[in-house]
Each structure stands twice: as C-alpha cells, then as structure tokens.
Amino acid sequence: TNQLELGTRQNGEACGAVSLPPWAQGSAAEFIRMNREALESDWVSDRLHAWIDLVFGATQRGKAAEKANNLFHYLSYEGAVDMGTLAGSERAAVEAQIREFGQVPRQLFTAPHPPRRSRSSPHSSPPIETNTQRTVSYTHLRAHETPEHLVCRLLLEKKKKKEHRV
C-alpha cells in the first residue's frame, strides 16, 4: 500500500490505504481491467445517456429532476447564493454545507442526451447528429481531460487510424 493521507474516519482512525475488493484477486491491474470491461459494456452504453441527463443535463434541475427524484439541497446548485454578499457565521455555514455535501456539477445540456449505439443493439437509436445545436456528441465530455489524458487519447486514436490503414 502507498499509505496516502486520505483523511480520517469518524472514529478518528487514519485512512491511508485502499483495499481492493475480493473479486480483484489482490491485483490492481485486474481491478482496472474489470472496471473498464464493465464501463465499456453494452449495458452501460445503453444507459449512459440517462446518467448524463441526471448529472449534467435535462433531468438535473426543475420538473424533470423532480420527476426523476434527482433533487438536492438548494445550496448544492451553482449560483444558488452569492457568496460575495455573505459574511461571518452565515458565510461559514454555507461554506461548511458546500464542503460537507458537495455541489451539483454545472448543467451542460438542457435537452435530453441522445442514446449511444451499443454493439448489441446497433439499430436501437438514431445516429447522433453533430451539425445541430440540440444534440451534443460525446467529445464535449472530454472538456475535463487533463493534458496528460488528452495526449494519451490522441496517441491511441493515431495508433488506431494507422492500424486501420494496414
């Protein structure tokens, strides 16, 4: 274990190591492989658009969020309070609420996200249009990539293109 400083538990015990679940058989590589396999599965692909809508999109706020049982405390939403107008204990209380319970990510989409085609059901959804403002491709979600991840992805894409030519 790396003995990272991961904070303390409620009982005061330090958290410094992450234990792998038994199904990973003690291997970090197996843990990553199995998670990658699950995340790239058709089951996830068939449902990914609904998750995107809950976290970043159309069912994040308003009536759609209420219907999807996806509502949070009002302080969790960006712009709910102007921190510049708060002072003293009121500001400390709002900061504590945000620090302890987090914030809902910025809403990126207001229309339902189009379903992704999966290998098991290639005709289950219409193709994603990239020339309209109503639909958004998955590449928009790459905006949060670090420079290191971007370089890796571009190198992999270049390698795939080269393999297709051969």
Instruction: List pLDDT tens digits, range 8-39.
Output: 888 888 887 778 889 899 888 999 999 999 88
With helix as H, strand as E and coil as C, how does 29-97 read?
Answer: HHHHHHHHHHHCCHHHHHHHHHHHHHHHCCCCCHHHHHHCCCCCCHHHCCCCCCHHHCCHHHHHHHHHH
C-alpha 50/C-alpha 45 separation (Å) is 10
User: Tens digit of pLDDT for each residue in 58-116?
Assistant: 999 989 988 988 888 888 888 888 888 989 998 899 888 888 888 888 889 889 988 87
- The pTM for the full model equals 0.54
CA angle, residues 164, 165, 166, in degrees to nearest 5: 95
Please give the structure tokens belonging to residue 21.
């679940």
Determine how many CB atoms are found less than 10 A away from the CB of residue 49: 19
CB 109 within 8 A of CB 51: no
Q: Would you give the end-to-end CA distance of the chain in angstroms?
A: 43
**Exposed / middle / buried, residue 77 (Cβ in 10 Å: 0-12, 13-18, 19+):** middle
